[in-house]
Structure 1
Amino acid sequence: MFSGAQVSLYPMSRDFVGIILDAVGSLDPYRDRLRIETDDLSTLLVGPPEVLFPALTDLFVAAARSGEHCVLSAAISRGCPGEPDDPICGVGIGDGIKAPLSERIARAIASVANTPVTGQPTAAQFSLYVLGTGNHMDEIYGCIDFLKQSGTFDRAKNFCTKLRGDAGAIFATLQEAFCHFGPPEGHVTLDITVSANSPTKR
């Protein structure tokens, strides 16, 4: 099943070129497990979610450690019917997503709790889109139940959910939302915005 992300990184700094190039360098260890293509708008990362989200974490943390206000924006998708399968993506999400919703919520909470700490305070907002299924709201409500127990939940906003916490836990929460809610072979997308070092007061 095809899975990947179109990612754009925005450092609010005069040295934005250096910060972006250094951050993109953090993807080097993943190049044998992800297809990576960069142009003047975004970087495409194609590969299995268990590799994709750690790569996104490293990309963002590398930029945020500059101390400058950095924002990452991404569209993340799995199972898009308009995309051809790519062998690098693997065979699918796995049987875990076929478990009852309560079991998936419990596993997702445990996974976030066991995520290594990066030391980078982070805020994020995202929307989950479960496409092409009649019970999509059951999956979205299940995801919301998970988010409220994840340890990263900040608040609900119009059209999205706000998260706050360590970057590792934030991206782990996003990975669990992406992988464990929605049909196993169906089309699921995330629209995410992640920020660190913002001058805006809480």
Structure 2
Amino acid sequence: MFIGAQVSLYPMTSDFVDVITTGLTALTPYKSDLRIETDDMSTLMVGPPEPLFGAIRDLFAAAAKRPEHVTMHVTLSRGCPGEPDDATCRCEVLERAQGESLADRKQLAAQAVGSAPTAGVEIDVQFSLYVMGSDAHMDEIYGCIDFLRESGTFFKTKNFCTRLRGDAGAVFETLRQAFLRFGPAEGHVTIDLTASANSPSLR
């Protein structure tokens, strides 16, 4: 399986270079577990979902701890048939999920969010989950929505997406669980998300 993300950070300040480089510095501890490639458009991260979501969380949290408004766009994918299998992307959660019911997966996802570490920064996220090539895709999506409503990070539904709000630790754990627990374990699943922190609209 191939698991990865394209991540782009958008600071709303003339000092954007420093904000971006500060965020990228937060990725240093993850370089032994992930393939990380940065260019002028985005940063590609490939590897198992535990460090992958930790790296995305820490990149955004580092930028969000500054006072300026900052947003981030992320495209996540697992099991894309157009990508070669990558042994570094092995994930025990996905391997176990093949034998778990939807109800069990919702319960396990909620437990994981409840034990998420605190990042110390409040963020907002809106995201959409896409389950590819599955006749039961809406069952999986509705199951994910049920989990989100009980996650403690749920804010509201919108057309085509769901809003989350809270500490970055809990929010990104919610996203990780949505990505891993819903949709076929061997299937193609993607998430499209936008994160925001320090928006002047909320003041």
AA partner of residue 188 (structure 2): H
Q: 1:97-152 CA distances to partner (integer Å, 9 max, x unpaired)? A: 53111111011111101101111011000000000010000000000000000000
Identity of aligned residues (%): 58
Match of residue 5 from structure 1:
5
AA partner of residue 3 (structure 2): S
Q: Which runs of 5+ in 1 are unaligned?
A: none
Q: Give the count of matched residue pairs.
A: 202
Contact 1:98 1:184 survives alignment (8 Å): no
Match of residue 71 from structure 1:
71
* Structure 1 residues 143 and 91, CA gap change in structure 2 (3 angstroms): closer
Q: Which runs of 5+ in 2 are unaligned?
A: none
Pick which of 146-155 and 84-93 moved more: 84-93
Matching of residues 32-181 of structure 1 within 5 Å:
32-90=32-90, 93-181=94-182
Contact 2:123 2:197 survives alignment (8 Å): yes
Query: Structure 1: how far apart are the matches of 2:172 and 2:74?
Result: 12
Query: Structure 2: how far apart are the matches of 1:45 and 1:90?
Result: 14
Q: TM-score with structure 2 length normalisation?
A: 0.97
Q: TM-score with structure 1 length normalisation?
A: 0.97
Query: Structure 2: how far apart are the matches of 1:138 and 1:98?
Result: 16
Query: Structure 2: how far apart are the matches of 1:143 and 1:73?
Result: 21
Query: Structure 1: how far apart are the matches of 2:172 and 2:122?
Result: 12
Contact 1:73 1:192 survives alignment (8 Å): yes
Deviating 4+ runs (over 6 angstroms): none
